[in-house]
Amino acid sequence: QPEITEIGAGQSMLMDPEFLEDFTAEVTGKARSEVSVKIRGNVPGADTVGVAGVLADLGVDYIHLDAMKPGEDRADLELVSLVSEVKGDSILIGNNSVRDIESARAMLAAGADAVSVARAAISGRLGFNLRELKFNSD
């Protein structure tokens, strides 16, 4: 949204890793609760994996990855996998195109620790109950 990026917030922060790092360090240093940071994947000019690594190094509790794949109606599961390798102790929430049990399982299999289903749930198109989602890591 232009009104957000024009003031230097939202995904525009991905373009300034030093500012993002300083801002996040200040938040995590002062927080009296868990810290979650949502990032958008595949933003031109941004290093999504590098940003996720910095967030993990700063000790954020949750990295919420919008794994959008420009021009496609599916999540970028390769990106989820790459971010899962640098997330450290952070919990990785996979987001984008999770609309059925198969896409949720695919997101978890790619390395996400949890999934976000907001749009599908809000629209009433979520075709499963999250309790049905059992991921066996054996």
pLDDT of residue 101: 84
Mean pLDDT of the chain: 85
128 in a domain, yes or no?
no
94 in a domain, yes or no?
yes
136 in a domain, yes or no?
no
pLDDT tens digits, residue range 104-129? 899 999 999 999 887 666 676 666 66
69 in a domain, yes or no?
yes
Is 39 in contact with 55 (CB distance < 8 Å)?
yes
Q: Kind and range of the H or E element at 91?
A: strand 91-95
Domain count, the chain: 1
132 in a domain, yes or no?
no
pTM of the predicted model, to two decimals? 0.82
Binned at pLDDT 50, 70 and 90, residue 15 comes out as confident
CA distances from 1 to 36, 74, 93 (A): 20, 21, 22
7 in a domain, yes or no?
yes
pLDDT tens digits, residue range 56-92? 999 999 999 999 988 888 999 999 999 999 999 999 9
- Can you give the residue range of the structural domain that contains 60? 2-119
Other C-beta atoms lying within 10 Å of the C-beta of residue 64: 19
126 in a domain, yes or no?
no
57 in a domain, yes or no?
yes
